[in-house]
């Protein structure tokens, strides 16, 4: 009798165990434990993430747990073969429940929430750049691999891109073997590799040198570089505009006395010694953006009638290549950083109102002590009577000043010791309150 009972219960146990195993594999046959390959962030807000899990079957419910609570919560049903969970960055585990019978737990340790990779990167031949994807990841794993589709154009060395020859290639970033994103890299001869020192022997920009397509591409390159340092409306964007025109652009834009400002000048001129628009003034297609013309229009490098008498170089009525005067260059740099400094020039007296040094910020006397204090940054203004300049870089001993004068031939970067700069410029305008955001600011460009 006892033997028969044991056999009976063994039989029942065998049947139940077999049923459980069958149910396990039956339920699991709908879902192959690959949820992490089908998991992504659909939306990323300031305080909330929407987690999307795809390729799920009917009858499945999804939930999650976090660092704040190990209990599975937030259960939602599958809709159109996917679950959408509202979670935050404390997410630790995701749960899959099938017909309220089976629960599978998946630890989250390598989920990419966001990145800041650009759609396109431009490089000059022989130039290089480090990729900064600025990843936000839930978990601790972060293995990043980059691969170029054409190694003859760009060679990838770790997170560094090295440009070899003119052309285009795709570069794929893969994170933790589960997240990938592709961006384009174009190597172009429209810009030069950024030098450590300003090239004072750059050739002057010829008239009508660039086609419309080339002009637009140069503007796109500038825009991409601004986006790479934090985007418009940052100090870094203004500084990048200065450095782009001074260091990356292969030609010297010449000096031209302004023919008058739109609002503040007697001739109401736009694009004549000044240019109030984003991008470089390199093609006649830009004429449609001009507000007023007096002696023009004429793009940079093309002859324009001058109305100033200055030494032996500028005579009234002569035609000179159009370019930028001192406040025109500073205004152009600030406009291309995403700000509107207004229609301002450099007055004969630093106490004048409605001049470029009045856009905002703190006005202080220029001194060696000020430069050594660390308060002066690239993007700040330096002024002397009738002249305005903007800082392109600063290190422990020198300040690198971007300024345009007819004696310099147009916008250049001059290197001053702190003592030389304090002797040359009377006033410094510290613009932290004006820019508000630094972006990816750097004191120097190398």
Concatenated DSSP letters of 197-219? S--TTPPBPPTT-S-HHHHHHHH
Stretches where the chain sits below pLDDT 50 are 23, 25-33
Burial class (CB in 10 A: 0-12, 13-18, 19+), 303: middle
60-66 and 69-77 strand pairing? antiparallel
Q: Are strands 179-188 and 120-124 parallel, antiparallel or unpaired?
A: parallel
Cα-based distances in Å from 108 to 55, 74, 415: 18, 16, 53
pLDDT of residue 20: 52
Burial class (CB in 10 A: 0-12, 13-18, 19+), 317: exposed
| Portions of the chain given CATH number 2.60.40.1080 | 114-189
Question: How confident is the model at residue 366, as a pLDDT?
Answer: 97
CB 94 within 8 A of CB 108: yes
pTM: 0.83
pLDDT of residue 33: 43
Measured between its terminal Cα atoms, the distance across the chain in Å is 91
Q: Are 325 and 273 in contact (CB under 8 A)?
A: yes
List CB contacts of 434: < 8 A, sequence separation 6 or more.
Answer: 339, 359, 360, 361
Check residue 16 and give its pLDDT: 63
Partner residues linked to 415 by β-bridges: 400
Compute the distance between CA of residue 414 and CA of residue 423 in angstroms, rounded to an integer: 14
Structural contact between residues 236 and 389, judged by C-beta atoms closer than 8 angstroms: no
* Domain boundaries 35-108, corresponding CATH code: 2.60.40
Residue 174: predicted pLDDT: 92
User: In CATH, what class is 114-189?
Assistant: mainly beta
Long-range Cβ pairs for the range 116-119 (8 Å, 24+): 117/173, 117/181, 117/183, 118/183, 118/224, 118/227, 118/228, 119/183, 119/184
pLDDT score of 6: 58
Of the candidates 95, 35, 47, 445, the residue with the CA atom closest to the CA atom of residue 243:
445
**pLDDT for res 26:** 46
What is the maximum span of the chain, computed from C-alpha positions, in angstroms?
127
Parallel, antiparallel or unpaired: strands 387-394 and 398-405:
antiparallel
């Amino acid at each position: 009798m006892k033997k028969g009972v044991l056999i009976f219960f063994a039989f029942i146990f065998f049947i139940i165990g077999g049923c459980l195993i069958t149910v396990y594999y039956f339920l699991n046959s709908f879902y192959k434990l690959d949820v992490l390959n089908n998991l992504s962030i659909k939306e990323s807000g300031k305080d909330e993430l929407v987690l999307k899990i795809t390729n799920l079957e009917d009858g499945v419910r999804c939930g999650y747990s976090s660092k704040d609570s190990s209990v599975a919560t937030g259960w939602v049903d599958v809709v159109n073969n996917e679950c959408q969970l509202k979670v935050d960055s404390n997410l630790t585990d995701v749960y899959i429940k099938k017909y309220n019978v089976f629960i599978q737990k998946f630890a989250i340790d390598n989920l990419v929430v966001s990145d800041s990779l650009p759609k396109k990167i431009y490089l000059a031949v022989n130039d290089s750049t480090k990729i900064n994807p600025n990843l936000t990841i839930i978990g601790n794993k972060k293995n990043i691999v980059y691969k170029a589709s054409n190694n003859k154009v760009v060679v990838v060395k770790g997170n560094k891109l090295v440009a070899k020859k003119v052309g285009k290639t795709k570069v794929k970033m893969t994170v933790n073997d589960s997240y990938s994103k592709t961006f384009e890299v174009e190597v172009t001869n429209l810009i030069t590799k950024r030098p450590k020192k300003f090239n004072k022997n750059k050739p002057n920009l010829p008239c009508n040198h660039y086609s419309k397509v080339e002009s637009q591409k140069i503007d796109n390159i500038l825009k991409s570089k601004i986006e790479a340092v934090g985007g418009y409306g940052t100090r870094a964007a203004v500084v990048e505009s200065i450095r782009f025109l001074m260091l990356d652009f292969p030609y010297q834009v010449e000096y031209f006395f302004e023919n008058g400002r739109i609002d503040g000048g007697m001739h109401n001129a736009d694009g004549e010694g000044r240019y109030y628009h984003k991008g470089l003034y390199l093609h006649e297609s830009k004429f449609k953006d001009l507000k007023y013309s007096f002696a023009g229009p004429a793009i940079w490098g093309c002859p324009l009638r001058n109305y100033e008498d200055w030494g032996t170089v500028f005579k009234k009525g002569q035609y000179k290549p159009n370019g930028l005067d001192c406040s025109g260059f500073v205004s152009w740099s600030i406009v291309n950083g995403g700000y509107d400094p207004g229609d301002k020039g450099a007055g004969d007296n630093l106490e004048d109102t409605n001049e470029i040094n009045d856009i905002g910020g703190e006005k202080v006397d220029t001194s060696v002590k000020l430069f050594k204090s660390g308060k002066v940054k690239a993007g700040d203004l330096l002024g002397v009577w009738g002249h305005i300049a903007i800082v392109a870089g600063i290190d422990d001993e020198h300040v690198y000043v971007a300024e345009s004068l007819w004696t310099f031939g147009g916008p250049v970067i001059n290197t001053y010791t702190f003592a030389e700069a304090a002797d040359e410029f009377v006033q410094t305008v510290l613009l932290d309150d004006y820019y508000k955001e630094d972006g990816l600011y750097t004191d120097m460009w190398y």
